[in-house]
Amino acid sequence: MQVLKDNVKEKIYQAATEEFHKKGFLKTKMQDIAKKAGISVGLTYSYYNNKEDLFAAIVEPIYKEIIQSVENEEKRNLEIGDPANLFEKESAFILQLLRQKREIFLILIDRSKGTRFEKAAEQIIVVTKEHIKRQLSPKVNGQIFKIDEVFYHILANNFIEGLLEIARHYKGNKWAENMLKMLTHQFFYGVSGFHS
């Protein structure tokens, strides 16, 4: 019986993922999800209270995973004391995200209007900005110019937007890996130039 319940729940999850990816949260209806899953709408509500709960079940784990990854990287960098790995160390996590959860990542960022996740991109940028600031501040202290807070935001925004463009235009694993290498290389060498 439990296997059957898990199977139905997985069908709902998969159908909802496809519908949210195609239409976004606001335009997706529970009836469309139920139809795609091959079950009744009533049965859908016995697994998820409403559309918001179903949406959260899909995107919240990846949102938490992304935030946790940046925070863990910050701890590792502080322990190691090596800001040179600012972007390059995240590459393995990002590649895994693009290979396995790209569709959900795009739902979180591009299709979450009308949900509590609609500002997820901005929140990820804020966390990334703080990470960049902590890593770069020791390098730029004592320079002849002062770094404005907005500059850190611009770096974080550009990096996250670069990742989003790779996800949106995804052409396969090897392509994504090459694009990510170019993106991280550009950021690492551009940013590290402050101390030369």
In a domain, 53, yes or no: no
Q: For residue 8, what are the domain limits?
A: 1-48
Residues 156-181 as b or e (16 or more Cβ within 10 Å = b): bbebbebbbebbeebeeeeebbebbe
> Is there a domain that residue 96 lies in?
yes
| Statement to judge: residues 188 and 93 lie in one domain | yes
Percent composition of the chain: helix, strand, coil (DSSP 3-state, to 5): 80, 0, 20
Q: What is the mean pLDDT of residues 110-115?
A: 96
- pLDDT in the model for residue 39: 95
Domain co-membership, 25 together with 2: yes
Q: Does residue 86 fall inside a structural domain?
A: yes
Residue 145 has pLDDT above 80, yes or no: no
Please state, in angstroms and rounded to a whole number, the distance separating the CA atoms of residues 54 and 132.
34
Q: Are residues 125 and 154 in the same domain?
A: yes
Tell me which of 30, 48, 66 is where a domain ends: 48
- Per the structure, the count of domains in the chain is 2
Does 64 reside within a domain?
Answer: yes
Distance, in Å, from the CA atom of 48 to the CA atom of 2, rounded to the nearest integer, reads 16
Residues 86 and 7 in one domain: no
The pLDDT assigned to 83 comes to: 46
Q: Render pLDDT for 147-164 as a digit per residue (tens, 0 to 9).
A: 788 988 998 999 899 999
For the cut 80, the answer to whether the pLDDT of residue 88 exceeds it is no
- Does 101 share its domain with 177? yes
Structure tokens at 160: 């996250």
The reply to whether 44 and 71 lie within a common domain is no
pTM confidence score: 0.82
40 and 128 part of one domain: no
Comparison of pLDDT for 93 and 81, the residue scoring more: 93
* Identity at 134, one-letter amino acid code: R
pLDDT recorded at residue 192: 52
Based on the fold, state whether residues 62 and 16 are members of the same structural domain: no
89 plus 66 within the same structural domain: yes
> What is residue 81's predicted lDDT score, i.e. its pLDDT?
47
Q: Could you tell me if 132 and 40 lie in one domain?
A: no
User: Both 65 and 35 in a single domain?
Assistant: no
User: 185 and 112 in one domain?
Assistant: yes
Find the CATH number of the domain harbouring 36.
Answer: 1.10.10.60
